[in-house]
Structure 1
């Protein structure tokens, strides 16, 4: 029965390489199936961002100190599909798995999938760029960041998100994958309505107060001093990130309109801007994000098409797994 289930999994066209090993790191180091990804059962609830999309089935190896199917049942109750379940103490499984195991490679095996639009175009982008320095604005759980860092050539990435939890998840994911050394900076920062930035470290109060002292009374509340106005983009990227230009900028499922016209200024000549976000297409009906947080049809093409030294390379309408429409574009900076 175990051998038959293993055979069905390895013959599947979608999930034959996706295996979640929930045993301890010590047990995984002694023997494991290649490819597979080790996330100890005790850490799983904190590392769900590393799992495959919920419409993609995958295999699970359960630890022997847990009740049979208890781990896979938890996954199923939370929406994941894991029809191929194996046990740590099943010797038949390990014997049968030897014929499928692949040679070990230094590159991490990934369960999760980054932005499909980025996957589709990254090889071409890499051939066109030189230093491979990337800025991810709105990094979320860090899947795009971690995936990019796991590639060759070696990318160096700066990552920003307004949520502390997102920054922590991105840092944790890159550590889990052993690529954290090339995550140059990952920090909590928020783009303000005026196009400026607000960060959340101890020095921000002084910088924000200094920059905006001509427009504010000294008697303003501490809250006003902290949150309005933002640090101008030039000062933010120079003083906070210590990097003013990038070969690649990503904004995936993230939209703050005052930021859009500023992004080409942050690119090196020949650099690329990749934007992929939900769009109001007049056909599909959905709740999240709300309409004022969606792109309009043709909005990005019109904005960047009107700019000097900027070229719209790719502009497509797509749908994500749940059917919601997105507009994905690639913008190239062609001159200073």
Structure 2
């Protein structure tokens, strides 16, 4: 057991067993990456803190869910009584008389060999055995039961775009301030009336006391109570052009954030904590008394992902299903951008595509009912996405209705482009943003590292320095918030660009 104690202490940043509880708590904001490849029922019964379950028999088709190959992670390896590796692909998934499931890992004889030979930084392998769980229990690294299935399903080994992860809280705060300002002004007027009412009641109370009466009313107006207590909900819309396997789409759609809005001004500040989806409307004990008197805004996203590669969208749909998202949160569009006009060209979905049966996303493609309705009647506005009953609030903030037929006919709070460049689309992005909306762009930019690497080589796929700032700068009604050059893990230059459209 000593070896497992040492490995777990290193993995979770623990120095001694006695320091485990405090250290484990300190890692909760940035947990280590732990892949658990055991069967789901074993994972739910007993698991390491913050681990993510991808069952071994489905790993080869789920490699896009693993961390970037530069990021180290640990692996919980199932026992030989659970899985056995074969070199014969036709045997994959077969259950032996012993109860073990046969797994085909192409060209390899073990999970370790499979991951390492394909370039993943699997730093340690923890064999499923009683000693492992005894060590984890001693270090207090076993998660409490019962399991929160929704929370577990939304854990990710992969990370979203770093630029998006760094900026999304600021974006949500700024957009929330814009969306709640009209209601906020009404609330402020009501607070003024309530203060005047209280002052009048105090005068009447003083007079009553002088006359020997002790009956004093301190009630506020009903509308004032509701305005102070109601928590608003804002649904923001994002577009991810060239979404690939949908990792940023799923991450953003699953995100839920509480923002505290000042009732005395139009500014807002983040509560600095993400909340689990089942915790909406829960305890606010960690907020100051002043913040508790301010309306909490529940921020959620509806994300549209566009890509021309069918396989990528099928993976995105699988990811949305695994994370238990819904079509009110994710829309996938099979289409390409015309290089001449910059317009969306929907593609037809093959009859055998599993997107036809997708239940956790809405799918737009040539020949779909939504596309047929658009051809017959033109784009029709869709009803705003409805929140789940558990998250519904009595004072939902209205959001601009948008078309669900064509993404170019819809306006968004955020447009995201990651390693995608089609210059004919760039002039249209401004018209696709709502006032105060944001553009987050990250793709290759010309530089010595990119030229040395050799790909992408064509100028049509590579930005020039300053190109985005010229298109989305002050002269075009934008405020540039970030315009930097970062390096990818392989040394290629990437443009990190964030700009906000003015509200005028």
Distance 2:45 2:503 in 1: 54
- Which contiguous aligned blocks of 4+ residues in structure 1 show a shift greater than 4 angstroms? 12-16, 102-106, 204-210
1:55-77 Cα shifts (integer Å, max 9, x gaps): 11111111213469921221111
The answer on whether the counterparts of 2:480 and 2:499 sit within 8 Å (CA) in structure 1 is: yes
* Counterpart selection for 2:343 from 189, 196, 199: 196
**Larger CA deviation: 169-178 vs 248-257:** 169-178
1:244-255 to 2 correspondences below 5 Å: 244-255=410-421
Report which stretch shifted further, 162-171 or 5-14. 5-14
Structure 2 CA distance, aligned partners of 1:301 and 1:119?
A: 21
For 1:4 and 1:181, the matched residues in 2 are separated by 45
Q: Could you say which residue in structure 2 is the equivalent of 1:332?
A: 500
Separation in 2, partners of 1:87, 1:2: 9
Instruction: Report whether the alignment pairs 1:320 with 2:484.
Output: no
Aligned equivalent of 2:131: 92
Secondary structure, aligned partner of 2:317: helix
Q: Is the 8 A contact 1:310 1:335 kept in 2?
A: no
Q: Report deviation, 1:85.
A: 0.8
CA distance in 2, matches of 1:203, 1:175: 23
What are the within-5 Å matches in structure 2 for residues 149-160 of structure 1? 149-152=253-256, 153-160=299-306
Match for residue 314 of structure 2?
168
Distance in structure 2 (CA, Å) of the matches to 1:237 and 1:290: 37
CA distance in 1 between counterparts of 2:45 and 2:404 reads 47
Which residue of the partner structure matches residue 36 of structure 1? Answer: 51
Task: Give 1:209 shift.
Answer: 9.9
Distance 1:306 1:333, change over 3 A: closer
TM-score by length of 2: 0.57
Aligned: 1:280 with 2:430: no
User: Which shows bigger deviation, 183-192 or 279-288?
Assistant: 279-288
Unaligned runs of 5+ in 2: 15-26, 86-108, 177-234, 257-298, 349-365, 377-401
Give the CA deviation at 1:179.
2.3
Query: What is the CA distance between 1:240 and its match in structure 2?
Result: 2.9
Q: Does 1:21 align with 2:187?
A: no
Secondary structure of 1:173's counterpart equals helix
Structure 1 counterpart SS, 2:425: helix
How far apart are 1:207 and its partner, in Å? 9.8
Deviations 1:67-98 (A, max 9, x none): 6992122111111121221122x101011112
User: Against the structure 1 CA distance between its residues 62 and 298, is the aligned structure 2 distance closer, same or farther, given a 3 Å change threshold?
Assistant: same
Matches within 5 A, 1:1-336: 1-11=3-13, 17-64=32-79, 65-66=82-83, 70-88=110-128, 90-98=129-137, 99-102=140-143, 106-107=150-151, 108-130=154-176, 131-152=235-256, 153-193=299-339, 194-201=341-348, 202-203=366-367, 239-241=405-407, 244-282=410-448, 284=450, 285-292=452-459, 293-305=461-473, 307-335=475-503
In 1: Cα distance, 2:331 partner to 2:480 partner: 29
Larger radius of gyration: 2
Q: How many residues get paired?
A: 310
Work out the CA distance in 1 between the residues paired with 2:168 and 2:412.
15
TM-score (norm 1): 0.84
Separation in structure 2 between the aligned mates of residue 289 and residue 251 of structure 1, nearest angstrom = 16
Q: Contact 1:190–1:199 (CA<8 Å) still a contact in 2?
A: yes
